[in-house]
Amino acid sequence: MQNKYVNFISDEHFLTCISNLHQSYLKAKKDISKKKFYKNKVDTIKLTFDVKFNNLTEEQIIEGEILRQIDKSINNSIGTFHEEILGGIEGFEMGNLSGFDIKATNDTLFADIKNKHNTMNSSSAESLFQKLAHYADTYKKANCYWVQILAKNSFNEKWFGEINGKEYSHSRVFKISGDQFYALLTGEEDAFFQLYKALPQALDDYLADANLDKKQTQNSVVFEINQMTNLTQRSILDEITLENYGYYTGFRDL
């Protein structure tokens, strides 16, 4: 039976990966309480510009601000999504906190996956190179990869260069873009494109069957702020401003 979504993993596995990522989204939003939301102070001057210039409601702006605050957590979850997708390809498996993200079941490949090309500083890059070189030295037939899902170019090349003043190179340590890594593991040149094209339909199918409780998808921050505005009759932005800057001159009168 032909797969509905992509050629290289089953439809069931694809939908499971989407479900796992969705749970990460829900958890990240749920974990942002009003106290956490206010922790770094909300710039309601900026939010006022956002409302007027972008023609959005105050509630939409707050939802956007919540998403901005949980962006790092979501980016990590997107990386995990790719690990789960790639770990479902025949002949490969996830590392599950074993020091690598993806490996070949016959130990001929080890990979560390970063969702974006610019997520590491020099110390992190040095540590990653040393880790991949260690796998290459331990497993003499293994090629080891630093995978950049969202890279600046399409490439598969030896990783060598100067990091923290030291020259690094290894005959079997590589850096590779997301499209080429998907192609390498699947044997299909357009595998990453298949994933991109299949996502909208797979997401629609998943959401249609998910039977989501509206309360489950709501964030407590918006609910808590709306509770206060119902009592005080203030606007959402005025309520947030008062709770963040009520000690500023004049703001107590909002």
Query: Exposure pattern of 242-253 as b/e (b: 16+ CB <10 Å)?
Result: bbbbeeeeeeee
- Average pLDDT of 33-53? 90
* Separation between Cα atoms, residue 87 and residue 110, nearest integer Å: 12
- Average pLDDT of 36-54? 91
Query: What pLDDT band is residue 182 in, cutting at 50, 70 and 90?
Result: very high
Whether the pLDDT of residue 101 is over 80: the answer is: yes
Query: What pLDDT band is residue 166 in, cutting at 50, 70 and 90?
Result: confident
- Average pLDDT of 11-15? 96
Query: What pLDDT band is residue 180 in, cutting at 50, 70 and 90?
Result: very high
The strand ranges marked E within 76-160 are: 92-94, 102-104, 109-116, 143-150, 156-158
Do 29 and 71 meet the contact criterion of CB atoms below 8 Å apart? no
What is residue 30's predicted lDDT score, i.e. its pLDDT?
A: 82
- Average pLDDT of 122-127? 88
Write out pLDDT tens, residues 57-93: 998 988 888 888 888 788 889 999 999 999 999 999 9
Amino acid letter at 139? Y
* Separation between Cα atoms, residue 245 and residue 232, nearest integer Å: 17
Side-chain half-sphere of 42: how many Cα atoms within 13 Å?
A: 28
* Separation between Cα atoms, residue 39 and residue 41, nearest integer Å: 6
Length in residues, the chain = 254
What is residue 216's predicted lDDT score, i.e. its pLDDT?
A: 57
How far, in whole angstroms, is CA 101 from its chain's centroid? 15
Out of 74-83, 131-140, 172-181, 222-231, least confident range? 222-231
- What does DSSP say about strands 143-150 and 109-116: parallel, antiparallel, or unpaired? parallel
- Average pLDDT of 42-56? 93
- Average pLDDT of 91-116? 92
Write out pLDDT tens, residues 189-247: 999 999 999 999 999 999 998 876 555 556 678 888 888 888 889 999 999 999 999 89
Query: What pLDDT band is residue 3 in, cutting at 50, 70 and 90?
Result: very high
* Separation between Cα atoms, residue 254 and residue 238, nearest integer Å: 7
Mean pLDDT of the chain: 90
Count Cβ atoms within 10 A of the Cβ of residue 71 and give its class: 0-12 exposed, 13-18 middle, 19 or more buried.
exposed
The DSSP bridge partners found for residue 111 are 102, 145
User: Which residues are CB-contacts of 117 (< 8 A; sequence separation ≥ 6)?
Assistant: 148, 150, 151, 152
